[in-house]
Amino acid sequence: MSLVTLSIIIFGLWNITLSVLVFRMVSHYNRLTEGVSTHTLKESLEKILDAYVKNKKDIAGLSQSLTRLESEGDTHLQRIGIVRFNPFSDTGGSQSFTMALLDKGDNGVVMTSLYARTGNRWYIKYIKCEMIHIIPS
């Protein structure tokens, strides 16, 4: 093989390698400038940076809103229970019940309805962090 043939092969491979690299760079540039009316790299990158800053601010705002909603959600009813029972042997049907309505911090009310032949009585107890306060009825 002569020196001229070897140098042509080397320069041909070099040319193919550079062509592939330039093609990749041009396709990447075209993806960056897709949908942009101005085709200067500086303006395209500035728009991308502006969108990044806007998205970062939006994410920070959404994070604050999520934190606020989670703290507000702690006061909503999360634990609800009801038990029917028969307090007196002379009445049937388990018409009396106790219902508890509590939030995440175990604050809420417990309502009890006692059904008897002479009438129906309601009792309400306010629950505050495992301390029971009786509300007169």
Helix-strand-coil percent breakdown of the chain, rounded to 5?
A: 45, 30, 25
- pLDDT band per the 50, 70, 90 thresholds, residue 56: very high
84 in Cβ contact with 94 (< 8 Å) = yes
Q: Give the number of other CB atoms < 10 A from CB of residue 13.
A: 10
pLDDT tens-place string over residues 109-126: 999 999 888 888 999 998
- CA distances to 2, 70, 104, 120, 124 from 63, rounded to whole Å, are 69, 11, 21, 50, 39
Distance from C-alpha of 52 to C-alpha of 60, rounded to nearest angstrom: 12
pLDDT tens-place string over residues 59-78: 999 999 999 999 988 889 98
pLDDT attached to residue 97: 93
pTM above 0.75, yes or no: no
101 in Cβ contact with 109 (< 8 Å) = yes
pLDDT attached to residue 133: 58
Task: Give yes or no for residue 132 having a pLDDT over 90.
Answer: no
Helix intervals (H) in 33-136: 41-73
pLDDT tens-place string over residues 21-43: 999 999 988 887 777 666 677 77
Q: What are the structure tokens assigned to 49, written together?
A: 């940076």
Q: Give the number of other CB atoms < 10 A from CB of residue 70.
A: 9
